[in-house]
Structures are given as structure tokens and as C-alpha cells.
Amino acid sequence: MTALSATAPTAGPGVALAHGIHYAIVAAGIVGILALLLPQLHARLVGPRQHRDRAPRDLHEARVLRLRAEIASGALGTAVRVRPHTVQTLQSLAPEPLLPFPARTLLPAAFVASTAAAGVHAAMAPSHLEHETAPGLFFLAAAAFQVAWAAGLVLGASRRALLAGVVANAVFVGLWAVTRTVGLPGLEPEVVGPWDLACVAWELVVVVAGLRLLGSGARCGRLASWHRWDGRVAGFAVGSAAVLAALSLSGFSG
């Protein structure tokens, strides 16, 4: 009781910050799921009819609609000469080039996993802060680091930043293994639960993806827009957000 009463007054701001980080990540994950799924559903339901009924929104869409009309009428196949502006039109309609494997797969996977792991650490911080300040502050610091590291990938992934992420998450995984097997000095081993299993899984993804990025020698640059990610990574992002939301609503403790 003495330790609890001594730490409770100072834990208030930290608890609020931890809850804010956690629920912000959960909300962003839900928004991400909607951003990934709703446009595809909308295109399937009303896309073709919408394109027929309304005027084109810009020059690019006007060219697309004109080419579709020419193809449907058979006029496109009757063209003999290829004019320069036609070549430019076709080039403008070409899809974006496929990103290299590290940029479309490894980098976004590390981004998603680091953000999800930060959500777990933020969710666990309040309960620890209410009992012992040091562990709670560690969880809060871990969440802040993982969020900041993921945000750094959006701006640009340097080799030094990748290495820092690999080392930090490897340390987190090592500490988790110690606390679940032999325990820290003066503390009994903790019980394994769904929160920490999910967190460790995401941290391992960061470690593996970071090591592969460092080993590839490729210059990844900034994180690509989500629509250019590999489909498997997009599914991983949706699944991670769903797992984090489910854990938040489940009532499971860490």
C-alpha cells in the first residue's frame, strides 16, 4: 500500500498519455482498415455505373473514358498512325512502376509492426504506472520510441535508424523472455498472456524486416503510400489493427 500510494499521484499524467497513445493507434488502425477496404467495395458496387453517369473529374479521367469508348466502339483498332500525343496519353495512363521488394514489403511491414507494438506497450503502461513507477515508465518510453521510429520511416529510413529499431526491439524481446522465464531480480516470472504474445510477434517482425533491409543494401527512402504496398503487407496491416482492437475490447490483461 505504501508503494502504491507513493506512485499513484505522479502516475496521472503518464496514465493519460499512455491511454492517449494506445487509443490513437487503435483509432488509426480502424481508419486504416476502412481506407483499405471501403474504396474497393465502393468501386465494385457503384464504380462502373458512376463512371457512366457523371462527367470526368479531370483530364486524366477524361482520357481514360475516351479510350474505353474507342475500345468499345472498335474505333481504337482502326488507327494506323501513332501520333505523339497518343503515345503521351498512353504513357500517362500507365500504372506506377512496381516498387522494389524492400520498399513495398519489408519497410511497410516494419512500420505496421512497430506501430502495433507501440499500441500494446501504451495499453500496458497505465496498469504498471498505478503500482510501480519504473516499469510503467519503461512501457511508456517503449511505446513512444516505437511510435517515433515508425514515424521516422515515413520521413526516410536511414541505415542508422534501421539499426536502432532492430537493436531496441531485440532488447524488448529479450527482456520479455527473461520476465517470462526466470524473472527479473527480486521479481517472480510473469504469466504469458495474449497482449505480450502479440507484442513480441510484432517486435520480431520489426527485427526480421530490419535485418533484411540492412542486409539487402537497398536504399529504401521514405515509406511508400499504402496503395503501393504488397498485398500481403496490406493484409498484415488490416489483421494487426483488428487484433489490437480486439485485445482492447476483450478485457484481457497483460
* Reported confidence tier of residue 90, pLDDT bands at 50, 70, 90: very low
Q: Average pLDDT of the chain? A: 77
d(CA 191, CA 40): 42
pLDDT digits (tens, 9 = 90+) for 105-115: 999 999 999 99
Look up cell 482502326; give the residue. 78
3-state secondary structure of 9: helix
Q: pLDDT tens for residues 131-162?
A: 778 888 999 999 999 999 999 999 888 899 99
Domain extents in the chain:
17-40+97-250, 55-93
The predicted-structure confidence for 25-52, as pLDDT tens digits, reads as follows: 767 666 666 665 555 555 555 554 444 4
At 236, is the secondary structure helix, strand, or coil?
helix
Q: Which pLDDT value is given to residue 74? A: 62
Residues in the chain: 254
Residues 26/244, Cβ–Cβ less than 8 Å: yes
The residue that leads in pLDDT, 85 or 177, is: 177
Cα 199 to Cα 180: distance, rounded to the nearest angstrom: 14
Mutual angle of helices 231-250 and 2-53, in 10-degree steps: 140
pLDDT digits (tens, 9 = 90+) for 180-239: 999 888 778 989 999 999 999 999 999 999 999 999 877 778 898 888 899 999 999 999
Res. 85: pLDDT tops 70: no
**Which uninterrupted H or E stretch holds 1?**
none
Bigger pLDDT: 221 or 97?
Answer: 221
- pLDDT given for residue 216 in this prediction: 87
Cα 230 to Cα 21, 35, 107, 147, 235: the distances in Å are 27, 16, 11, 22, 9
pLDDT score at 117: 95
